[in-house]
Amino acid sequence: MAPLTVGIDLGTTYSVVAAYRNAKIQILPNSQSSRKSTTASCVSYGEKELLVGEPAKKKLVSNHGNVVYDMKRLIGRSYCDPTVEKSKKFWNFKLEPNDDENPVVRVEYLGNQLTVRPEDVSAAVLEKMIEVAEKALGKKPTKAVITVPAYFNQAQKQATLDAAKKAGLEVPELITEPAAAAYAFTFDKNRLSGNYDLLVYDFGG
């Protein structure tokens, strides 16, 4: 039996996992609700447990400074990147450079101080998406096509691949978010015959 492959939109704020079933692309419901398909791209490092998704998002106040999010703005960038400098004033977690001048987040987890990389946080979110897919499909996916912004450079793409590897996923391909939207539109509308133009406007977050 061929390995199960899913599609994951690893978003800045929310993430979504999809699978090709019954001749169409289906967005899979997350573990919090049978009707909700999005999972918050948020990880809470707590005194007793690691939370991902909506449970982590709910800890933003009570676990102040140990809830990490927006990793898509950090992954594959240097600490002194202008985008990082501009964004970090809005975050309530502590960001610092490591020995390679890459951004890491200092958190307190299970009573210990540690630093986590953006790849580590993204890996935790990807693991949650695997869990969502396994629950919906009855089988654990081992491969995933993952979306990345069209502006991602090679370092950002490689960091995303590193996060997927840490989550135990093989990635046959990274595709840009506008391309993913175009593919999904084509499959869902069954427009596989004839010539036509398709315009995708990437409105962003």
* pLDDT for 180: 87
* pLDDT for 129: 96
pLDDT for 168 beyond 90: yes
pLDDT digits 0-9 by tens, 39-80: 999 999 999 999 999 999 999 999 999 999 999 999 999 999
* pLDDT for 190: 56
Mean pLDDT for the chain? 90
Q: Catalytic residue positions?
A: 9, 72, 177, 202
* pLDDT for 65: 95
Query: Model-level pTM?
Result: 0.91
* pLDDT for 170: 97
Q: Enter the CATH code of domain 5-40+121-188.
A: 3.30.420.40
pLDDT digits 0-9 by tens, 102-159: 999 999 999 999 999 999 999 999 999 999 999 989 999 999 999 999 999 999 999 9
Burial of 183 (0-12, 13-18, 19+ CB in 10 A): middle
Domain positions in the chain are 5-40+121-188, 42-118
Structural contact between residues 126 and 7, judged by C-beta atoms closer than 8 angstroms: no
For 42-118, CATH number out of 3.40.309.10, 3.40.50.2000, 1.10.3720.10, 3.30.30.30 equals 3.30.30.30
Which region holds residue 49: left if phi is over 0, alpha if psi is between -120 and 50, else beta?
beta
pLDDT band, residue 192 (cuts 50/70/90): low
Q: Do domains 5-40+121-188 and 42-118 have the same CATH topology?
A: no
Beta-carbon count within 10 A of 104 CB? 20
